[in-house]
Every structure is written in C-alpha cells, then in structure tokens.
Amino acid sequence: MRINIKKKNLAKVLALALELFAVGLIIYLIALPFYPKIVYKLEYSEPASRSEAQSVEKTKQKVAEFKNSFPKAEYAVSPNRLIIPKIGVNAPIVESQSADYGLSKGSWRVPESSTPDKGGNTVITGHRFKYLPPNNLTFYLLDKLKKGDIISIIWKKQDYFYRVKETKVVPNTELSIMDQTKEPILTLFTCDPIYSTKNRLVVIADLVRSGGREREE
C-alpha cells in the first residue's frame, strides 16, 4: 500500500515538473525575440546627439578596455579584432580559406578582400545568430547600426576607426559588395532576415582614423 502511494506521489511530482518545464519553454520561446532588444536598450544604446568626434573618442576608450581584458585564449584564435561597442560585438577576425572554420571562431575576413593596413575594401562577415543573443561573436544586432556610428578594428596591433556611411539589404547573390575600392572602406555583412540566408544585411563604413591620426577628407 505504501509503495503504491509513493509511486503516485512520484508520478505527481514528475507531472508537475514536466508542466513547469513546458511552461518555462513556452515563456522562453516567446521572450527570445525580445530579449536582445531589451539588452540592447539597457546596455548598448546611446543618445543619438553625440558628435562624431565624441563617438570616436568613446570607441577608443572601449577598445582600450577590451585590450586590457583579452584572455590569452582570444589571441590564440586571432590577435586581430573587430569591436563595435554600440551592439556589443567584440570578435576575433579569423584568417582562413574556410568560411565555415572562420565563422565558427568569430568574424571572418573574406580572403579575396583587402586589409585595413593596405586600404581598399576590407570585407568581414559573421553569423547573425549562433548563440543565445546578443553574443559578442555574432552580428545579431547589426541592423542597429546607423549612419555616423563608429566601428573599430585592431589589425596587426594598429587601431583603425571607421564611420558608417550606408546600410542596406541585398540578395545573397549580390557580389558587388566585395568589389575593391580606391578609398579605404570596411564592409560588414550577415544574414537577413534572422534565421534565413535569403538576403545579406550590409554595413559600409569609411576610414576616419588610423593609429590616432585623422584621415584627411
């Protein structure tokens, strides 16, 4: 008799646990799309009234903070870095002929593109979603970047700062974003919409400062 009672109690506990798990899963799935936006507003968004110069200086401060906090394991992936404080991106720039490998470790520089020290068009891509967003290795919030926002790259121990001049969505077959340019620019792209590879969300930025020097306009 006691054994039957224990079995019934255990069955009730298990049923309750399953119900709680199901409710928690439903809440998680409902909240997931809103979570990154809430975090963005609380942690990353800043007044739009900042001047461009202030944005560069603030980004420089953030870059300095990140440099002092890089674990050694980060340098094992790559000493080069893409940092976008506004959207929480702080990712190694991986050099590899394999896109799958590069994207599995952080952001990936398209090998056919240029590099910041050479000028021209430096093209870097990253996953839009891979881990619970927002994540410092993904471009989940790339759509939040606007004209005038500052992007930083650490390349061969040199700091480069770029100002966003254009954002757009193009078909995933559009290859013109890879074209080389006379002017030093940075092109970032990722999947769009989220969870789909139908299009590419593209951000194009001009070089405004290198190693503490303003670029002549």
**Is the pLDDT reported for residue 30 higher than 80?**
no
Residue 159: is it exposed, middle or buried by C-beta count within 10 angstroms (0-12/13-18/19+)?
A: buried
- What pLDDT digit, counting tens, does each position of 93-147 carry? 999 999 999 999 999 999 999 999 999 999 999 999 887 777 888 999 999 999 9
CA dihedral 33, 38, 40, 43 (to 10 degrees): -150
> Mind listing the domains of the chain with CATH numbers?
51-214 (2.40.260.10)
Would the pTM of this model clear 0.85, i.e. be above it? Answer: no
